[in-house]
Amino acid sequence: MSEHAEDHVDCSETMYRIMEYLDGEMTEADHERIAEHLRGCQPCLDEHDLERMVKALVKRSCGREQAPAALRTTIMQSFSTYSVDGGVVQEYTEIRFDG
């Protein structure tokens, strides 16, 4: 198997990871592998373009609404971060909203 074949991304992997790609949540190497696939695969590129348009529409439709300040403060205060032996441990507190 050639080095290029090992780096090849197929349509199923591209579609599985398309949101990571659009959100910039992958390594530079993986991003380039997906981009290379999109340059050579019109059906995947069409799906990419559709997902990008949907994200833009959702952002435009929902981008103006914000959670109330009290709710944002409560949520942010429920998270605590502690440093233990150089590592980071997350502690989450359950919040219940009655009403």
* Per-residue confidence (pLDDT) for residue 74, from 0 to 100: 83
Look up the pTM and report it. Answer: 0.56
* Per-residue confidence (pLDDT) for residue 43, from 0 to 100: 95
* Per-residue confidence (pLDDT) for residue 72, from 0 to 100: 83
The closest alpha carbon to 45, from 78, 68, 22, 70, belongs to 22
Q: What are the structure tokens assigned to 54, written together? A: 């949907």
- What is the chain's pLDDT, residue by residue, as a tens digit (99 residues)? 333 445 678 999 999 999 999 999 999 999 999 999 999 999 999 999 999 999 998 888 876 777 888 988 887 777 655 545 555 555 555 555 554
* Per-residue confidence (pLDDT) for residue 14, from 0 to 100: 94
The closest alpha carbon to 41, from 11, 18, 73, 15, belongs to 11
The closest alpha carbon to 39, from 14, 4, 13, belongs to 14
* Per-residue confidence (pLDDT) for residue 27, from 0 to 100: 94
DSSP state of 85: T
Neighbours of 89 (CB within 10 A): 10
